[in-house]
């Protein structure tokens, strides 16, 4: 009887947590409170709470944060060295002669940059270059902005910074081997979807009027040699073809970026650039680190409560990986507005419970939930860089969602089927 009461209370607080997040509640506070609530409701001994809910999850996640730090630094070096800006500016040369091709090129360039770069700061630095280019060649705002944000979302499948965030729930899954092949395939599917989106709207692009964005100053960046354009893909290439760990791969790519962009010409200049980029990179992820600490503590609370809700979850969940993949694909819009399928929102509870029960393997669950979450990363208003893009371009929220959600929904269904094809057997 006690176990049934505990299970009901856990489920009620889970529903309450979803409501809290959807209503815009602070995620860090929400995760901390849920970790404590589930520990109290589950009658977890005090010493177990201290060790298994608070201390061990945070300490075990420490190594993953190092990956995030190196990834953030590499992304900041790409932006501040001028590599990202130079890659972006190349699309302007195609310009009005071939607007459709230029728009597609912007999408591919955006994906190339954000295969390694991450964070709202990097998005702003690139967006103030690429968004005006899209508008200047006649791409309507209602096409340009969704295309841009979906192009950012596509490479997140292989972005080491974001991948290591979802590893909080599935620490046994590595950023290598079969996952990387899946990640590249899923990224390609999303890019293909964005390109089709552009082609479907080609008539409005060809007939579109030239739009401009009022800015107080011209965007300036150092132009770099075209050979630097391969730098963003170096970490992924080293991991895929030579099986390097992400940290040495990111470090070598950073050194190459510094060398090719002339940052090593003087010792003083090199030290100043390193200090500047490291400081900014850490600042970019400081809030994220605290968020992830709260998240893994909540995941720890879910793990110690497995005996209470495992039976209920096993009854509710389909036992077929194919059925589950199709269901998550169809329900993917529930990831929007930090809903129950968004792992960095209310979906953290979903991920924590699924990971803890062990009904499905981690290598299947990670991409299953990652795919739904990337739908939100690509088109959700609660994603900070999407909100920035709307504010910057002055595009109406309704237009943005109306254009983007159907595209990402279809892409998510296809990629969920890919999850089953790769990991469901």
Taking only the tens of pLDDT, the chain with its 425 residues reads 777 888 889 888 988 887 887 787 888 899 899 999 999 999 999 999 999 999 999 998 888 889 889 988 998 999 899 998 888 887 776 666 788 999 999 999 999 999 988 888 889 888 988 999 899 888 999 999 999 999 999 999 999 999 999 998 999 999 988 999 999 999 999 999 999 999 999 998 877 666 666 554 455 678 899 999 999 999 988 988 888 988 999 999 999 999 999 999 999 999 999 999 999 989 888 888 998 898 889 888 888 887 877 667 777 788 899 999 999 999 999 999 888 899 988 888 889 888 888 889 999 999 999 999 999 999 998 898 999 999 899 999 999 999 999 999 999 999 999 999 999 98
Residue 163 near residue 418, CB atoms below 8 Å: no
Enter the tokens of residue 238. Answer: 């080293």
Burial of 190 (0-12, 13-18, 19+ CB in 10 A): buried
The per-residue pLDDT for 216 is 45
Residue 419 near residue 360, CB atoms below 8 Å: no
Integer Cα distance of 33 and 367 in angstroms: 27
Integer Cα distance of 116 and 425 in angstroms: 30
The per-residue pLDDT for 218 is 53
C-alpha pair distances (Å), 295 with each of 16, 71, 143, 344, 346: 17, 20, 35, 8, 11
Nearest-5° Cα angle at 332, 328 to 333: 150
8-state DSSP, 49: I
Sign of the C-alpha dihedral, residues 44, 50, 54, 59?
A: negative
| Count of positions (residues) in the chain | 425
Residue 368 near residue 416, CB atoms below 8 Å: yes
Helical residues (DSSP H) of 23-61, grouped into ranges? 27-41, 46-48, 56-60
The per-residue pLDDT for 207 is 76
Burial of 89 (0-12, 13-18, 19+ CB in 10 A): middle
Closest CA to 78 of 161, 142, 8: 161
Sign of the C-alpha dihedral, residues 375, 379, 382, 387?
A: positive
Stretch (H or E) spanning 131:
helix 120-136
The per-residue pLDDT for 212 is 63
Closest CA to 268 of 257, 260, 280, 276: 276
Integer Cα distance of 134 and 194 in angstroms: 14
DSSP-based three-state secondary structure for 208: coil
Enter the tokens of residue 149. Answer: 């944000």
State how far Cα 420 lies from the chain centre: 21
Residue 7 near residue 28, CB atoms below 8 Å: no
Stretch (H or E) spanning 210:
none
Contacts of 398 (CB under 8 A, 6+ apart): none
Instruction: Write b or e for each residue in 169-178: b if 16 or more Cβ atoms lie within 10 A of its Cβ, otherwise e.
Output: bbbebebeee
Stretch (H or E) spanning 1:
none
- The residue ranges of every structural domain in the chain are 1-424
Integer Cα distance of 258 and 40 in angstroms: 51
The torsion angles phi and psi of 81, rounded to 5 degrees, stand at: -80, -15
């Amino acid at each position: 009887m006690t176990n049934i009461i505990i299970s009901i209370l856990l489920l009620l607080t889970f529903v309450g947590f979803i409501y809290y997040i959807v209503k815009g509640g602070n995620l860090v506070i929400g995760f901390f409170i849920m970790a404590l609530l589930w520990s109290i409701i589950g009658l977890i001994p005090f010493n177990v709470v201290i060790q298994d809910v608070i201390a061990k999850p945070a300490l075990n996640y420490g190594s993953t944060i190092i990956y995030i730090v190196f990834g953030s630094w590499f992304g900041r070096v790409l932006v501040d060295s001028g590599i990202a800006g130079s890659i972006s500016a190349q699309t302007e040369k195609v310009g009005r002669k071939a607007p459709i091709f230029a728009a597609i090129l912007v999408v591919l360039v955006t994906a190339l940059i954000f295969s390694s770069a991450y964070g709202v700061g990097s998005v702003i630095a690139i967006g103030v270059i690429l968004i005006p280019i899209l508008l200047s060649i006649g791409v309507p705002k209602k096409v340009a902005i969704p295309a841009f944000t979906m192009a950012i979302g596509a490479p997140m499948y292989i972005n080491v910074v974001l991948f290591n965030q979802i590893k909080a729930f599935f620490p046994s899954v590595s950023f290598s081997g079969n996952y990387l092949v899946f990640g590249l395939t899923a990224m390609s599917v999303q890019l293909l979807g964005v390109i089709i989106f552009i082609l479907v709207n080609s008539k409005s692009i060809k007939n579109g009027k030239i739009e401009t964005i009022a800015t107080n100053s011209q965007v300036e960046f150092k132009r770099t040699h075209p050979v630097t354009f391969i730098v963003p893909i170096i970490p992924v290439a080293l991991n895929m073809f030579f099986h390097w760990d992400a940290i040495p791969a990111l470090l070598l790519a950073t050194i190459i970026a510094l060398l090719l962009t002339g940052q090593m010409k003087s010792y003083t200049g090199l030290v100043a650039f390193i200090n500047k980029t490291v400081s900014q990179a850490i600042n970019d992820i400081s809030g994220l680190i605290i968020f992830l600490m709260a998240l893994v503590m909540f995941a720890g609370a879910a793990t110690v409560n497995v005996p209470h809700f495992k039976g209920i979850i096993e009854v509710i969940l389909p036992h077929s990986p194919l059925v589950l993949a199709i269901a998550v694909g169809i329900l993917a819009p529930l990831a929007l507005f930090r809903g129950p399928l968004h792992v960095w929102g209310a979906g953290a509870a979903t991920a924590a419970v699924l990971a803890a029960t062990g009904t499905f393997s981690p290598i299947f669950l990670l991409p299953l939930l990652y795919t739904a979450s990337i739908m939100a990363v690509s088109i959700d208003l609660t994603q900070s860089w999407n909100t920035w893009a709307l504010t910057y371009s002055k595009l109406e929220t309704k237009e943005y969602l109306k254009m983007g959600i159907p595209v990402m929904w279809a892409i998510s269904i296809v990629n969920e089927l890919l999850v089953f094809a790769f990991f469901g057997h």
